[in-house]
């Protein structure tokens, strides 16, 4: 996949509006503290437990970017593509 295609997917995914009526997640402050100590934080959990909502709240608070790999346009994503993706995130920040 070309870098320009990755950039398009990232920008489109991150342009979606954040719903103002999201339920505040209890884990928000805990995850926020982890981010100050770690370069990478992995959020896992059962289906429909609020992981995406938590990420949206973190993005709103810290103006960051994320990439949802469930996007069908990324079906051909390979390990080698992480380097391109990392470069795009650094470019956008």
Across the chain, which distance is largest between two alpha carbons, in Å? 39
pLDDT of residue 32: 75
pLDDT in tens, 35-83: 666 666 677 889 888 888 787 777 777 777 888 888 999 999 999 999 9
Burial (CB count <10 Å: 0-12, 13-18, 19+), residue 53: middle
Please provide residue 47's backbone torsions phi and psi, each rounded to the nearest 5 degrees.
-65, 140
The pTM of the full predicted model, rounded to 2 decimals, is 0.68
- pLDDT, residue 40, reads 66
Question: CA–CA distance from 82 to each of 6, 29, 42 (Å)?
Answer: 10, 28, 16
């Amino acid at each position: 996949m070309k870098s320009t295609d990755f950039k398009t997917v990232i920008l489109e995914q991150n342009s979606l509006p954040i719903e103002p009526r999201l339920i505040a997640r209890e884990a928000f402050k805990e995850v926020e503290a982890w981010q100050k100590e770690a370069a990478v934080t992995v959020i896992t959990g059962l289906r429909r437990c609020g992981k995406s909502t938590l990420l949206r709240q973190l993005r709103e608070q810290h103006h960051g970017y994320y990439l949802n790999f469930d996007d069908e346009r990324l079906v051909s994503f390979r390990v080698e593509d992480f380097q391109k993706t990392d470069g795009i995130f650094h470019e956008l920040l």
